[in-house]
Amino acid sequence: MTPPLALAPAMAAALARWLEVEAGTRDRADHTIIAYRADLLAFLAFLGGHHGQPATPKSLAGLRQTDMRAFAAAERARGLGARSLARRQSAVRSFLRWISDREGHDLSAALSTRSPKYTRSLPRPLTPDQARDTLDMIAVGHDTPWVAARDLAVMTLLWGCGLRISEALNLNGEDWPFRDSLTITGKGGRQRQVPVLPVARQAMADYLRQCPWQPAPGQPLFRGVRGGRLLPGIIEGAMQKARAALGLPPTATPHALRHSFATHLLAAGGDLRTIQELLGHASLSTTQVYTGVDDAHLMAVYQAAHPRG
C-alpha cells in the first residue's frame, strides 16, 4: 500500500485554523473537534492520492462532484458505514464552505454532492417497571453499603433528571445541596437547568451520609473507592450486573436510563421542546427520534391487543 502524502503546510495551517473557529465560535465539544480533524485528514489524504500531489487551499478550487463521489466510494470500500460516512461528509462540507469563503472559491458543485441515506437507529429505553427494578437491584448490588448507595444515586440522576453519565460524574462539592434545579454543562459547553426530583435529592443525601469523603468545593461528589473521581466504567459494570440478574437485554445500559427519561416524559404528555431543553440537545431533530420510539411502542401495544378474529 502506498503511504499517504504528507499534508501541505498551507493546508495544515488552514485545517488548524478551521478547527479553532469551530471550537471557539460554535462551541463544539472536544470529542467533536477530534472527530472533525480525523474526518478532514481522511479526506485530504484521499485527495493527495487521488491527484498525486498534496492538496492545498488553492488547489481545492478545482474540486468537482466526481472527486466527492470518488471519496465516498473509497470510504465505503474501506468499510465505513452509511451513518459514519454521512457524518464525515458533513464535516468535509463545513470545511469546504469555510475555505471557499476564505479563498474566494466557487465550490458549489462539490458542495451539492448528497450524503448517503441511512436509517437512524431508535433509542432502546427501559419500561418504567424495568427502570424501577434496575434501581432496586443496584441498591443491593454491592457488599459495601456506601458504594451501593453511590451507584443508586448516579442511576437515579440518569433516569430522574435525564443526565448523561459524564454530566452526573462531573458534579462537584459546590453543586450540593441540590436545589429545585441543577445547572448542567453539557456537550459543546451548553448549559441547561434540570429540575431535581425529591427522590434524586434523597438518593444523593443517603449516599453522602455514608460516603467516607464529604462534599468539598472543587472535589468530586461521586468518588471511587480510593477517593478519586468515579469512572464511567464502574457504573457500567454495576448496570451490567443488574441487567444480568434481571434478564434484561444488552441495550439496558446507563445511557438507556437517559433514553427512558425522555421516552417516559413523552408518554406522559411532555412536549418535544421541553424535552429538548431538559436533555440539552442542540437540535430538535435529535429529540424527535423519541417520537419514533413512542410510536413503535404504541404499535406494539396495538398489535398485541387488537382482535384478529
User: Which residues are identified as catalytic?
Assistant: 164, 187, 255, 258, 281, 290
DSSP 251: T
Report the alpha-carbon angle 101-102-104, nearest 5: 65
List beta partners, residue 185: 191
DSSP 229: B
Report the phi/psi class of residue 218: left, alpha or beta, with left for phi > 0 and alpha for psi in -120 to 50: left
Question: What is the full DSSP assignment across 52-66?
Answer: TS---TTGGGG--HH
Query: Contact at 8 Å (CB) between 243 and 252?
Result: yes
Q: How far apart are CA 147 and CA 210, in angstroms?
A: 9
Query: Contact at 8 Å (CB) between 174 and 217?
Result: yes
Report the alpha-carbon angle 201-205-208, nearest 5: 135
Nearest to 89 by CA among 27, 36, 32, 28: 36
- The C-alpha cell 417520537 sits at 291
Backbone angles phi, psi at 191, to 5 degrees: -100, 150
